[in-house]
Structure 1
Amino acid sequence: MISNNEMIRIRRQMQRRIRDVVAERRRTREQNPAPVSPASPGADQEVCVADNGPG
């Protein structure tokens, strides 16, 4: 069985690894920004709905 101290150590180690991976991905994203894809036709258009009053 895993002792409480070992569980805490493992949890901290996992959190550190996750933080390192997130930081590395952030650095990679900042160095290589994703290309901006052109919006599909009509993507920015508003949809207008007629208001015919009550009923």
Structure 2
Amino acid sequence: MISNNEMIRIRRQMQRRIQDVVAERRRTRDLAPSPSPAQPGADQEVCVADNGPG
């Protein structure tokens, strides 16, 4: 059986690990160049031609 103190310690350890991963991903995202629309996989605006009624 896990004691209450052990459960608290494990929960805090897990939260620290999650925060470390989130911070690392944020740093990686901030350092990476943003993709230009010409690159595959980047979000692109799609324009639809208006061919009139019908």
Q: TM-score range with shorter-chain normalisation?
A: 0.5 to 0.7
Q: Structure 1, residues 1-35: CA drift from partner, whole Å, max 9, x if none? A: 00000000000000000000000000000000330
Q: How many percent of aligned residue pairs carry the same amino acid?
A: 70
Between the aligned partners of 2:2 and 2:33, the Cα distance in structure 1 is 43
**How high is the TM-score relative to the length of structure 2?**
0.68
Deviation at 1:40, TM superposition (A): 4.0
**How high is the TM-score relative to the length of structure 1?**
0.67
Instruction: Provide the aligned C-alpha RMSD in A.
Output: 1.8
| Residue matched to 1:30 | 30
Q: Which runs of 4+ in 1 moved over 4 A?
A: none
Between the aligned partners of 2:11 and 2:21, the Cα distance in structure 1 is 15
Pick the structure with greater CA Rg: 1
What runs of 5+ residues in structure 1 fail to find an aligned partner? 44-55
Q: Which has the higher contact order (CA 8 A, sep 6+)?
A: 2
